[in-house]
Amino acid sequence: MAHEPEQKPSIRFDLVIAAATLVLAVLAYVRPPDPAHPMRFDWLSRTVSMPLWLAAVISLGIMAITVVFVRARVTRFGGRKKAPHIPECSSLPEIRTQSDSQKESKEQKIQTSQIELPPRLENGKGRGDESFIVSSAEGYSVEVQKHRWEQTRGLVLQIMNQRLSWIARYRITVRTAQSFDASHKDYRDGVGFKAVVIQRNEPIEASGRNSPIWLIRNDGKSDLLFVGEDNSSPLRWPVNDKSREQKWKLSLSIDAESLGTSGVPSRPLLPIAFGVSVVWDADAREFSLDKIYDV
């Protein structure tokens, strides 16, 4: 991996010329040119007397200004910490829409992930365990677990790197979100939901994990649910459904890319794709995991 050359401090000659020009201008103003009386510099050799305390104050001031200037130069040119070089992201697969995913038949799908299920997770009642893990065949996995912070309740997602090499970047895509209709005992089509993409360029070290990312949450101010880490993608429960328990089914995928090293270029890793259904109890203000789906 090529390293960028370190930037060395250089003298700003333009500032030196500007300072000299300013000094000459001041001298020209104080002593205007007069051919009959040419300028003399004998005044430079005159003795100037001043109190000892004033000389000490001026000396301390010059020392303080010099220290500040030197520290600023050192911070500017020598105090920068270089981040690990990460190549530009160019090989992550494009995001497909829900209609594109539906066109792909089950016979054409390649099983690239394995779901590790707790014993009580697939109970269908929204009272399952606290977390689950989905693993990729390429040595990384994603963990989804319940989490609360102050008034916020929801599910967070973390990517765990079990590889011997770093993961350069990753992208989380929530492709679909469908609400459950209890009268039909099935999920609505959810065509009004737009895919949510969380792109991160922070690398994950070998045997490390990223900081938690909100997958779905309630901010404690209303019954409204949000997908992702901001409020730009709300989940709107149908107005004619008066159920206080909202059941949602999400399908998502995680795309990751390895960190290239000398002689080994970066490449996309096999993605992780799965579905999960969660239940939001608006009265108890509590989430619970329901089922895990293979997509």
Matching residue, tokens 């920068």 = 80
Q: Tell whether the model's pLDDT for residue 89 goes beyond 90.
A: no
Give the residue among 267, 244, 24 at the shortest CA–CA distance from 168: 267
Phi, psi of 63 (to 5 degrees): -65, -40
pLDDT, one tens digit per residue, over 184-230 is 999 999 999 999 999 887 899 999 999 999 999 998 888 899 999 88
Q: Tell whether the model's pLDDT for residue 174 goes beyond 80.
A: yes
- What pTM was estimated for this model as a whole? 0.59
**Are 248 and 277 a contacting pair, CB within 8 Å?**
yes
Q: Tell whether the model's pLDDT for residue 125 goes beyond 90.
A: no
| Alpha carbons 213 and 198: distance in angstroms, whole number | 9
Mean of per-residue pLDDT scores for the chain = 76
Beta carbons within 8 Å of 184's beta carbon, 6+ residues apart: none
Residue 73, CB-side half-sphere exposure with 13 Å CA sphere: 11
pLDDT, one tens digit per residue, over 19-36 is 777 766 666 666 666 666
Phi, psi of 231 (to 5 degrees): -100, 25
Pairing of strands 152-161, 234-235: unpaired
- 282 membership: H or E segment, kind and range: none
